[in-house]
Structure 1
């Protein structure tokens, strides 16, 4: 079965027009699809790329594997007749969970390997491409929570899953971050407890979202241990961004100084994992922080340091840095120039590499 036919059937089952489907994808993924592009998919003149298949999977609530496989597409349409889409997806996830329980599921070592792979994938593919994969693994791992180490793996998976929702949602991301913190406590592993809270704090602080929650989780991380760690480093910069957004310049700069000292003790050698904070990523944190504070010279230096060490396979982060430059222009009084710079940076990045966080930064610049 042709993918265009399935898209048309799924769209019709939702009661959506082609324009409505385009709007749903744009709202969730920050893209700029038009009704005409949806029509080209459905006519078969253009085939959706991997990014858009993942986007369709999410907004239409259908397994990604169905969109990718012609035989599964035909079977799915047959099964869907007279049936809501969501129960089919739920059935698939439930089957995976119980099958894992009955078979014993992946080993602790296999979960660690899978987490490492997710850390790398997230940096290059973004949230939309892996959200459903992580959801499926969460269904499996929740059937295996028999040891502290598996609770640790589940907590880190939940943190990653939370990052696939925009922090400004105010409910989905925050709910998952809080559950991840509780799961980390079940592991009784101090490093996991600190890291989960710190990673949540920097994600929310960087996005400028749910700052009260970012504060709470960051302070919890810092209270759990005063030893230098990547979790503590993330927590410090989560607090710093929250302070900057509130206009507390002195606190933000003091936290930046402490963060740099912490990085000197624990900075990562790994360059391309979401679980790592290498030199270039520290400077991405600092670039936005200093731009928010109006520290133009220091922000420019952080941007240059980040670009000099940024791996070539991570162009999305180069776009982050260009958006920071746009924010600096706005803060300096050139609103039109800053917005134009940010818009040009987003246009230069392929749409499938856009992220919710980038979209939120553009909105911050415009505001």
Structure 2
């Protein structure tokens, strides 16, 4: 990507797979007018830039490039273009979300300010459990590209490596949500390597433990899950979010094995860690722990313990939509297990209909519920619910591994 407006326009147009003729149709400027701007033979006007932004989904990049014209804006323009070039090569330009991030970062760099990477990671962690939509993945990929560019230009500092590792872990979790399990595993491996290079022990523990907790839903065997959880605790068993995730992975294992006593022991580990950590918000240690307590009791507990766990979890999880909807499906499973098949199906169906974006873990929960429905049961609601189930083998298959 070049430095001139025309070169940037041409790069963005070609990256989007838009021909001159198609851009002309979308902007109502002639092909010759667009071509003259791209070759530098004609100076673009703001309204032209705005029209191209709208047509290419890059608002407000091209408009801002014009605003950054002139010697007094040269530094900011170079910072923006440098970051944009790096991001385009990594993830492509995919709409205004990434572009806005690039502009913000370029302006930060130019002003001499440093990104608060801890807050960036916290923000994206929160968004993952609120709305893990395709636009989230695009924005996160753009943020990873910015981290990559800063590592190249500023050096591989522990702070940047830590942030890159945690962002990479989140991207793997998002890929898993999108049913791209193979890519998810690759991102998990990269996250572990980056965390190791950062030398930050809590991050090293977290990425391994979070992978173990999710991995059993994404094809990891029982042995792999246990080994990864214990491996994370072997690095450090001090109270941390990583230790919390390691114990959560063990809750998963026992719940799937229908070992209620073992699951409650593992849950005790989560509770012990959560009590020693500050509650960092709606998706913090408390919410994470009550979510797993409900999962365990709904899947293998008694009707009474399942109801008690749901009464505790439901008001806490309402502000974490993905966890809340998953928990609703598992409460539906508890209803099916006690014989309230129609109510359980209806409860789960209400939950999955409310999700704006399909999420694999919720789809696995649906598949889990469907396994408990009596073979002879028939209903239109059951037929609809089957459409929300995750395809392929569920994590219960890993129990034989």
TM-score, normalising length: structure 1: 0.66
Aligned partners of 1:149 and 1:71: how far apart in 2? 37
User: Contact between 1:108 and 1:150, CA under 8 Å: does it hold in 2?
Assistant: no
In structure 2, the partner of 1:305 is 312
Q: Residue 124 of structure 2 aligns to a residue in which SS? A: helix
Asked whether the equivalents of residues 172 and 188 of structure 2 are also in contact (C-alpha less than 8 Å), the reply is yes
> Does 2:142 correspond to 1:133?
no
Cα distance in 2 for residues equivalent to 1:211 and 1:296: 29
Shift of 1:74: 2.8
Q: For 1:211 and 1:134, how far apart are their aligned partners in 2?
A: 29
For the residues of structure 2 that align with 1:333 and 1:304, how far apart are their CA atoms? 20
Deviations 1:17-60 (A, max 9, x none): xxxxxxxxxxxxxxxxxxxxxxxxxxxxxxxxxxxxxxxxxxxx
Find the counterpart in structure 2 of residue 71 from structure 1: 52
Instruction: Please say if residues 225 and 249 of structure 2, whose CA atoms lie closer than 8 Å, have aligned partners that are also in contact.
Output: yes
**What corresponds to 1:294 in structure 2?**
301
Shift of 1:236: 0.4
Alignment partner, residue 197 of structure 2: 186
Tell me, which stretches of 5 or more residues in structure 1 are unaligned? 1-9, 14-68, 78-88
Contact map agreement 2:128 2:174 (CA 8 A) in 1? no
2:241 to 211, 230, 253: 230
Q: 1:319 aligns with which of 325, 344, 350?
A: 325
Looking at structure 2, the residues matched to 249 and 182 of structure 1 have their Cα atoms a distance apart, in angstroms, of: 35
3-state DSSP of counterpart to 1:226: coil
- Residue pairs, 1:62-141, within 5 angstroms: 71-75=52-56, 91=89, 93=91, 109-141=115-147
Cross-structure match for 2:352? 346
Structure 2 residues without counterparts, runs of 5 or longer: 1-15, 20-49, 59-86, 94-98, 372-401
1:215-258 C-alpha deviation (Å, 9 max, x unpaired): 33312211111212221011101122023213444432221122
Residues 136-175 of structure 1 mapped to structure 2, 5 A cutoff: 136-145=142-151, 146-166=156-176, 169-175=180-186
CA offset digits 1:130-151 (Å, max 9, x no partner)? 1111112222222333111111
Out of 334, 352, 361, the position equivalent to 2:365 is: 361
Q: 1:135 to 1:248 in 2, by over 3 A?
A: same
RMSD value, Cα:
3.6
User: Displacement of 1:362 after TM fit?
Assistant: 1.4
Which residue among 243, 258, 267 is the counterpart of 2:269? Answer: 258
Which of 327-336 and 229-238 deviates more?
A: 327-336
Q: Residue in 1 aligned with 2:213?
A: 202
Aligned residues: 283
Of 105-114 and 332-341, more deviation after overlay is shown by: 105-114
- Cα gap change, 1:230/1:314 in structure 2, threshold over 3 Å: closer, same or farther? closer
Alignment CA distance shift 1:234-1:75 (3 Å) = closer
Looking at CA atoms only, which structure, 1 or 2, has the larger radius of gyration? 2
TM-score by length of 2: 0.61
Residues 267, 292 of structure 2: 8 Å contact kept: no
Report if the CA contact (8 A) 2:129-2:321 is conserved.
no
CA 1:114–1:257 in 2, change beyond 3 Å: closer, same or farther? closer
Q: CA deviation at 1:210?
A: 2.6
